[in-house]
A and B are shown apart, each in its own frame.
Chain A
């Protein structure tokens, strides 16, 4: 589904990605773990074409995303939904307009009744009722904003959902809830998911496969058990801090 080959990216003199290679199978959840500044978000932005690599390729469904420009790139982005770290809801719109936005803009001509039905349906997927439809983002809690953001990402029924640090800044109960939502979106809607995180507990809960990014390179990659058994010194140190607590 997604194939990343030998991806390199620098900003000025600072090399962020140094030859990242990874693949994500259709209908699975792939988690990229790593510390702050390890290049996780930069990697994700390459997958959706927000950044262009200096070298290497990103293929999604066989399409080389990094080679696309303009209208072709816009068309290719219809495959994706993305949940941002800070939710990135449009603060001038209420919840209904936020979730309906991709439908109104990408599927022009869809009857208003159908838009409303799909918005309500996707809000139900993230366990939100019709009472939130008229609320503005500033009136919602952090967890609710993340859920509305996920509903917005799912409403146009994308093939791939990208999650940028979905549990950062959330309390443990909401974190657990967001993890369940990611698993539920995969199981109920069959989407392929890529999750960027430094939350080890969440990563091991939602991942079918995961990779640990360190200093712009993949230090370990595989199933959760394979990564846990990695002998890479950074991976051992990174994971041991959490597993010691268990």
Chain B
């Protein structure tokens, strides 16, 4: 969801700035586009991915609670007790650690594809498509690697 919403926006904005020479203009004004455009987006991603992950955790728990209590008729007490039993603080920290890495990867990939855009509107569109596809695949691969390591570490 974040890649579709924010990753594509980053790639499109930077791609448009590249093909309309706004990034070149910044360089000619002795301003580093990496510092001015990439660094704030990287920092924002590193800050907001964990925040959004926590938000989605809360929403996910809330959704599960509503479904469990009102649709599946599970009593609230056992639902909460089982959840506390199954979800340990380490799980939350594990998710937050992953979100930090995903945030960095998505910011770097989408900024890089935006900076690499060329050839007008089509180039910006192609760059955004590549950014979203590469980011999504990267997140899946890294998630797999994280799980492999954590399962291996748990044995």
Tell which of A56-64, A71-79, A126-134, A220-228 binds the partner. Answer: A71-79
Q: Establish whether residues B28 and A48, one from each chain, have CB atoms under 8 Å apart when the complex forms.
A: yes
Q: Establish whether residues A74 and B28, one from each chain, have CB atoms under 8 Å apart when the complex forms.
A: no
Q: Establish whether residues A88 and B29, one from each chain, have CB atoms under 8 Å apart when the complex forms.
A: no
Pull 13 A–B residue pairs with CB atoms less than 8 Å apart, ordered by A: A48-B28, A50-B27, A74-B32, A75-B30, A77-B27, A84-B25, A86-B20, A88-B24, A90-B22, A90-B25, A92-B13, A102-B31, A156-B29
Q: Which residues of A contact B16 (CB under 8 A)?
A: 91
Residue from B16, B25, B36 having most chain A Cβ neighbours under 10 A: B25
Asked if A106 is at the interface of the complex by the 8 Å CB criterion, the answer is: yes
Number of A-B contacts (CB under 8 A): 49
- Interface size of A by Cβ–Cβ distance < 8 Å? 23
In Å, the complex CA distance between A85 and B19 comes to 12
Q: Which residues of B contact A75 (CB under 8 A)?
A: 30
Q: Establish whether residues B28 and A50, one from each chain, have CB atoms under 8 Å apart when the complex forms.
A: yes
A181-197 interface code vs B (CB 8 A; 1 in, 0 out): 00000000000000000
Q: Which residues of B contact A84 (CB under 8 A)?
A: 21, 24-25
Q: Which residues of B contact A101 (CB under 8 A)?
A: 29, 31
Q: Establish whether residues B21 and A80, one from each chain, have CB atoms under 8 Å apart when the complex forms.
A: no
Asked if A213 is at the interface of the complex by the 8 Å CB criterion, the answer is: no
Q: Which residues of A contact B36 (CB under 8 A)?
A: 105
What's the minimum C-beta distance from A86 to chain B, rounded to whole angstroms?
A: 6
Q: Which residues of A contact B25 (CB under 8 A)?
A: 82, 84, 88, 90
Q: Which residues of A contact B22 (CB under 8 A)?
A: 88-91
Q: Which residues of B contact A105 (CB under 8 A)?
A: 29-31, 36
Which applies to chain B's interface (DSSP): helix, strand, loop or mixed?
helix
Partner of B29, one of A85, A91, A102, A162: A102
Q: Establish whether residues A86 and B28, one from each chain, have CB atoms under 8 Å apart when the complex forms.
A: no
Residue from A48, A75, A88 having most chain B Cβ neighbours under 10 A: A88
- Interface size of B by Cβ–Cβ distance < 8 Å? 15
Interface of B toward A, CB cutoff 8 Å: 13, 16-17, 20-22, 24-25, 27-32, 36
In Å, the complex CA distance between A156 and B13 comes to 27
Q: Establish whether residues A106 and B31, one from each chain, have CB atoms under 8 Å apart when the complex forms.
A: yes
Q: Establish whether residues A85 and B31, one from each chain, have CB atoms under 8 Å apart when the complex forms.
A: no
Which residues, 86 to 106 on A, are CB-close (under 8 Å) to B? 86, 88-92, 101-102, 105-106
Q: Establish whether residues B21 and A77, one from each chain, have CB atoms under 8 Å apart when the complex forms.
A: no
What's the minimum C-beta distance from B34 to chain A, rounded to whole angstroms?
A: 11
What's the minimum C-beta distance from A153 to chain B, rounded to whole angstroms?
A: 9
Chain B residue nearest in CB terms to A74: B30
In Å, the complex CA distance between A75 and B17 comes to 23
Partner of B30, one of A50, A85, A106: A106
Q: Which residues of B contact A50 (CB under 8 A)?
A: 24, 27-28
Chain B residue nearest in CB terms to A78: B30
In Å, the complex CA distance between A17 and B24 comes to 21
In Å, the complex CA distance between A66 and B30 comes to 15
What's the minimum C-beta distance from B12 to chain A, rounded to whole angstroms?
A: 12
What's the minimum C-beta distance from A51 to chain B, rounded to whole angstroms?
A: 11
In Å, the complex CA distance between A80 and B73 comes to 72
Q: Which residues of A contact B32 (CB under 8 A)?
A: 74
Chain A residue nearest in CB terms to B25: A88
Q: Establish whether residues A85 and B21, one from each chain, have CB atoms under 8 Å apart when the complex forms.
A: yes
In Å, the complex CA distance between A81 and B30 comes to 10
Residue from B16, B22, B36 having most chain A Cβ neighbours under 10 A: B22
What's the minimum C-beta distance from A96 to chain B, rounded to whole angstroms?
A: 16
Partner of A77, one of B13, B17, B20, B30: B30
Q: Establish whether residues B29 and A106, one from each chain, have CB atoms under 8 Å apart when the complex forms.
A: yes
In Å, the complex CA distance between A147 and B25 comes to 15
Chain A residue nearest in CB terms to B36: A105
